[in-house]
Amino acid sequence: MSNIQRIKFLNTFIDNLTAQEAKACVDELINEPGNHYVVTPNSDIVVKMQDDPELLDICNKADLILTDGQIVVKLSRMIGTPIKERVAMTDFVWNVMDLADEKGYKVFLFGGKEEVLEKATEKIKEKYPRLNIIDSYSPPFGFENNKEQLEAANQRIKKSDADILIVFLGCPKQEKFIANNKDKYCVPISITMGGCVDFIAGKVKRAPQWMQDAGLEWFYRFLQEPKRMFKRYFVDDIRIFGLVKAYKKG
């Protein structure tokens, strides 16, 4: 694959790529032997890694590690390991769809609430009428802990003969599902997209561009669902600043 600059960032690593470079890497991985996967750490995931050695190991072994968080980009500059740009999944999902549309790749959409996934699938098909969405499936809650349901999910994905698996399960479920099952369902590339399905479906609105650029998209998200997002943003994710203090150079 093309030369990727994998740099150290706090407790993990980041592939220092632009969105267009990442899109080209996805294309290369699809055409290389093996079952590859892409992870997309933001500040929330970086904090979760600190408490979850399995998640940290999975992310560090990924074929691509992309930066889904403007705060991560800004912090990388503060600690002396600047990242080129944010590769936001809410934007990069369309880069992946562009690629699939251009090359005729088959896409499988996996995860998210059933009604939300259906709406997201409709939205993608409206934008890309020729795109081959080979299947979309919302597995039962807790399927990963049910042997029969997990096997059924793996077989459904495998039989689809998809080229790209987009996984909307949220962290750390999506990362662990992919790492533990990619060699069972056998898709050339699997990409973690988390809550991106809500944005595609139109259930959640994107922040204005100026807030995205300023690293305030999280605050816009908090204003939409304050009760649900308070703990994540104001209790859990704030710990990333402690990590910065611990890992900052010099």
Q: Let me know the angle formed at the C-alpha of 192 by 155 and 87, rounded to the nearest 5 degrees.
A: 150
More confident residue, 121 or 226: 121
Structure confidence by residue, pLDDT tens digits, 31-85: 999 999 999 998 889 999 989 999 999 999 999 999 888 888 888 888 888 888 9
Residue 35, both tokens: 């079952």
What global pTM score does this model have? 0.90
Instruction: Compute CA distances 204 → 26, 71, 197, 220, 225, whole Å.
Output: 27, 20, 9, 10, 10
pLDDT value at residue 246? 77
CB 17 within 8 A of CB 66: yes
Single out the residue of 33, 28, 23 nearest to residue 66, CA to CA.
23
- The letter for the amino acid at 129 is P
- Could you tell me which residues come within 8 angstroms of residue 208 by beta carbon, excluding any fewer than 6 positions away? 220
Phi, psi dihedral angles at 84 (to 5 degrees)? -55, -55
